[in-house]
C-alpha cells in the first residue's frame, strides 16, 4: 500500500463560542483513514463526532465554531489553510458527504437527476449528454431500479431507502478519495439499513475509497468497521482495530458503552399464561382516506391496521415490532383511543374503551397511560415538572397538595432527585426527560402503559438505564407494558412476547425467545437477519 493515508487528522482542536458548556468541542483528536478502509467514529450525542466531520469538509459554522489547533490532511495536503474557493473545488470532488436524514438532506424543489447533475456541473466539463449518461450510470450503480424515471422524480416521490441511495450516488459520482458518512442509516428501517450498509461496503471495495463513518450504533460498527475511534465529550478515549475495540475494549467508557448494547438474548420465559388478561384487543381495524382529488375519483383508503387482535396479561411486556408503515404506531394510538378505530373492541376489565362514552373514557384512561418517543416534544415546556406529573391525578380529582406530594415521591421512584420537581423540562437531558415522562404516566396508577418507541431518541447508555427502569417499575407495580419499537435489540431485551407486524397485519406472534430462535414467517426472518452486527456477541464486561 502507498504510504500517504487519504485522511490524517492531527491533534485537532475545535473551539466553541464563549458561554458554551465547554471551551472546546473537540481536543487532541488524532485519526487516520487509509485507502479502502472504513473508520468508525463512535460516540454519544455531544461527543463532537459530527463536528469532526464538518471540520474536515470545512463546513463548521465559522467563526463561532472553528478549528483552533491541529491539522487536517487530505492526501497529505492541509485542508485548513485553503481558501473557500479552493475548498469548493475539493468538496463533492475529492471528498464527499452522506447525511443522516435523506428526506431533509435533499432539496425538495429539485429532481433527483438535477441534484446529482449539479455535482457534475460543478466539477466537470462534460456536456449535457455526457452528464446525463453519467447520472444514469451512477444511479444504476447504487441499484436504483429504474434510473431513467428516478432521474425525473422529486425526493418526496421515492422511498427513504431510495433517497439514501440517491445521496450515496451523489457522493460517489465524482469517485472521491474520501467519503464522510454521518449516521447514514440511523433514519432507516433495519432491512433498508442492511441494504445500504452493504451498498456502502460494495462501493468502497469497488473504488478503494476511504470512509469515515460516524455512528452511535455499535451494531452498525460491528457490521462494517475496519478500525474504530471512540469519542466522549470531545476527547478521544480509545482507538484501534475493530476486533480489538469490540471484543477487548480497554477504556472504562468504551466498556460501558459496549455493555449497554442490548444483547440479542431474550429474557427467560416467564410463566404468564395463568396471569389475568388486563387488556384484550380484538378485530381492530383502521384505514386512512388517501389524498386524492375530488374530481379525480382516486380516493382509495389506505389500510393501516386490519383485523388485529391480541391480549396483554398482568405483569407482561408485549412488544409490537415492525418497520415504518407497518401500523405499529397506529395500534398504540387506537388502544389508548387517541385515534378512533373503525371497528373492533379494546376491553379493559370488562369495559370497552372503543365504545366508551366521554365520561367513561375519562375514567378508563386512568388505567392506560402512554409514554411517548420524544420527551422534549411531549412535555409542556412552560410547566414545572411537578405540575406535569400531578396534572393527571388532579384532573381525576386528587387534591392538589396530595398530588404534588405524590409527584415528588414518583421522582424518586424514577431515580430523579426531588429537587427536579421545581424545574422545567428543558433543564434536563433526554434520558432524564424520559424519566419524567414515565413518572407522569405512572402517576395515574395505570394497569397498562403503552410506550411508543420510548428509548429511540436516546443514547445507548441512557437507553439501557431507561429500559432497566421500565422493567423494574413493571415488576414492582405489577404493570403491563405494550412496547412499540422498531429496534429488535431493544425488543429482545425487554419483551416477554412479541408481535411482528407487516402492512397492518400480525405476521408472527409468540414468546420473544421462540420468535428470535426460530422465526417462522419469512418477514420475521428477514427482519432478524437484518439486525446490524447480529454475528457479534457483545462480550460480557464488568463495568466499574
Could you list the residues that contact other proteins (CB under 8 A)? 57, 59, 84, 88-93, 96-97, 99, 101, 104-110, 118-119, 122-123, 154, 156, 167, 170, 291-296
500 and 479 in contact (C-beta within 8 Å)? no
Instruction: Using alpha carbons only, give the angle 117, 118, 120 rounded to the nearest 5 degrees.
Output: 65
Residue 474 CB, shortest distance to other proteins, in Å, is 38
Please choose, from the candidates 303, 280, 306, the residue with its C-alpha nearest in 3D space to the C-alpha of residue 290.
Answer: 303
Q: Is 456 buried (19+), middle (13-18) or exposed (0-12) by CB count in 10 A?
A: middle
Residue 374 CB, shortest distance to other proteins, in Å, is 18
498 and 510 in contact (C-beta within 8 Å)? yes
Residue 19 CB, shortest distance to other proteins, in Å, is 17
CA atoms within 13 A on the CB side of 87: 16
Please choose, from the candidates 442, 498, 176, the residue with its C-alpha nearest in 3D space to the C-alpha of residue 320.
Answer: 498
CA distances from 537 to 223, 348, 465, 522 (A): 12, 40, 20, 24
Residue closer to other proteins, measured from CB, 137 or 478: 137
Residue closer to other proteins, measured from CB, 93 or 342: 93
Residue closer to other proteins, measured from CB, 181 or 507: 181
Residue tagged 406472534 (cell numbers): 509
Residue 488 CB, shortest distance to other proteins, in Å, is 28
Residue 39 CB, shortest distance to other proteins, in Å, is 19
Residue 453 CB, shortest distance to other proteins, in Å, is 22
Sign (positive/negative) of CA torsion 216, 217, 223, 228?
A: positive
Residue 172 CB, shortest distance to other proteins, in Å, is 12
Residue closer to other proteins, measured from CB, 182 or 189: 182
Helix (H) or strand (E) holding 508: strand 505-511
Q: Which three cell numbers stand for residue 134?
A: 453519467
Residue 143 CB, shortest distance to other proteins, in Å, is 21
Q: What is the 3-state secondary structure (H, E, C) of 268-325?
A: CCCCCCCCCEEEEEEEEEEEEECCCCCCCCCCCEEEEEEEEEEEEECCCEEEEECCCC
Pairing status of strand 38-42 against strand 343-348: unpaired
331 and 501 in contact (C-beta within 8 Å)? yes
Residue closer to other proteins, measured from CB, 99 or 310: 99
Residue 179 CB, shortest distance to other proteins, in Å, is 11
**Cα 72 from Cα 212, distance rounded (Å):** 13
Residue 512 CB, shortest distance to other proteins, in Å, is 37
- Per DSSP, the three-state class of 258 is helix
Helices 430-442 and 385-395: crossing angle in degrees, nearest 10, is 20
What lies within 8 Å, CB to CB, of 3 at 6+ separation is none
**Cα 141 from Cα 169, distance rounded (Å):** 8
Amino acid at each position: 500500500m502507498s504510504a500517504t493515508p487519504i485522511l490524517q487528522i492531527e491533534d485537532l482542536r475545535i473551539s466553541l463560542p464563549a458561554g458554551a458548556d465547554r471551551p472546546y468541542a473537540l481536543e487532541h483528536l488524532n485519526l487516520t483513514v487509509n485507502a479502502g478502509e472504513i473508520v468508525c467514529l463512535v460516540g454519544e450525542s455531544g461527543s463532537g463526532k459530527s463536528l469532526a466531520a464538518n471540520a474536515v469538509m470545512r463546513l463548521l459554522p465559522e467563526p463561532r465554531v472553528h478549528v483552533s489547533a491541529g491539522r487536517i490532511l487530505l492526501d497529505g495536503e492541509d485542508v485548513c489553510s485553503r481558501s473557500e474557493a479552493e475548498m469548493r473545488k475539493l468538496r463533492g470532488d475529492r471528498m464527499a458527504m452522506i447525511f443522516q436524514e435523506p428526506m431533509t438532506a435533499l432539496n425538495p424543489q429539485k429532481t433527483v437527476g438535477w441534484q446529482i447533475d449539479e455535482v457534475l456541473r460543478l466539477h466537470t466539463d462534460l456536456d449535457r449528454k455526457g452528464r446525463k449518461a453519467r447520472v444514469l450510470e451512477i444511479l444504476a450503480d447504487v441499484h436504483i431500479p429504474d434510473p431513467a424515471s428516478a432521474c425525473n422524480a422529486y425526493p418526496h416521490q421515492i422511498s427513504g431507502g431510495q433517497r439514501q441511495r440517491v445521496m450515496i450516488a451523489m457522493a460517489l459520482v465524482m469517485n472521491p478519495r474520501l467519503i464522510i458518512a454521518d449516521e447514514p442509516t440511523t433514519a432507516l428501517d433495519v432491512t433498508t439499513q442492511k441494504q445500504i450498509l452493504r451498498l456502502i461496503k460494495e462501493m468502497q471495495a469497488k473504488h478503494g475509497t476511504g470512509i469515515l463513518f460516524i455512528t452511535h450504533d455499535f451494531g452498525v460498527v460491528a457490521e462494517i468497521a475496519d478500525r474504530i475511534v471512540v469519542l466522549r465529550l470531545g476527547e478521544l478515549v480509545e482507538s484501534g482495530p475493530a476486533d480489538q475495540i469490540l471484543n477487548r475494549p480497554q477504556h472504562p467508557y468504551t466498556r460501558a458503552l459496549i455493555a449497554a448494547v442490548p444483547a440479542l438474548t431474550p429474557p427467560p420465559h416467564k410463566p404468564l399464561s395463568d396471569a389475568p388478561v388486563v387488556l384484550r384487543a380484538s378485530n381492530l381495524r383502521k384505514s386512512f382516506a388517501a389524498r386524492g382529488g375530488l374530481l379525480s375519483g382516486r380516493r382509495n383508503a389506505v389500510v393501516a391496521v386490519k383485523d388485529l387482535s391480541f391480549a396483554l396479561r398482568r405483569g407482561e411486556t408485549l412488544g409490537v415490532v415492525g418497520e415504518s408503515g407497518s401500523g405499529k404506531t397506529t395500534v398504540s394510538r387506537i388502544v389508548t383511543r387517541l385515534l378512533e378505530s373503525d371497528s373492533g373492541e379494546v376491553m379493559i376489565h370488562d369495559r370497552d374503551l372503543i365504545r366508551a362514552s366521554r365520561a367513561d373514557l375519562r375514567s378508563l384512561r386512568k388505567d392506560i397511560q402512554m409514554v411517548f418517543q420524544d420527551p422534549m416534544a411531549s412535555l409542556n415546556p412552560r410547566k414545572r415538572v411537578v405540575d406535569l406529573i400531578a396534572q393527571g391525578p388532579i384532573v381525576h380529582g386528587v387534591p392538589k397538595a396530595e398530588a404534588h406530594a405524590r409527584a415528588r415521591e414518583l421522582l424518586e421512584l424514577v431515580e430523579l432527585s426531588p429537587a427536579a420537581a421545581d424545574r422545567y423540562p428543558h433543564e434536563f437531558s433526554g434520558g432524564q426527560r424520559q424519566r419524567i415522562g414515565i413518572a407522569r404516566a405512572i402517576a395515574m396508577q395505570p394497569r397498562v402503559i403503552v410506550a411508543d418507541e420510548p428509548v429511540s431518541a436516546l443514547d445507548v447508555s441512557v437507553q439501557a438505564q431507561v429500559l432497566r427502569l421500565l422493567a423494574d417499575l413493571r415488576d414492582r407495580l405489577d404493570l403491563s407494558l405494550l412496547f412499540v419499537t422498531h429496534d429488535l435489540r431493544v425488543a429482545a431485551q425487554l419483551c416477554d412476547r412479541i408481535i411482528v407486524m407487516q402492512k397492518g397485519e400480525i405476521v408472527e406472534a409468540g414468546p420473544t425467545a421462540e420468535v428470535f430462535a426460530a422465526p417462522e414467517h419469512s418477514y420475521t426472518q428477514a427482519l432478524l437477519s437484518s439486525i446490524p452486527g447480529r454475528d457479534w456477541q457483545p462480550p460480557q464486561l464488568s463495568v466499574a
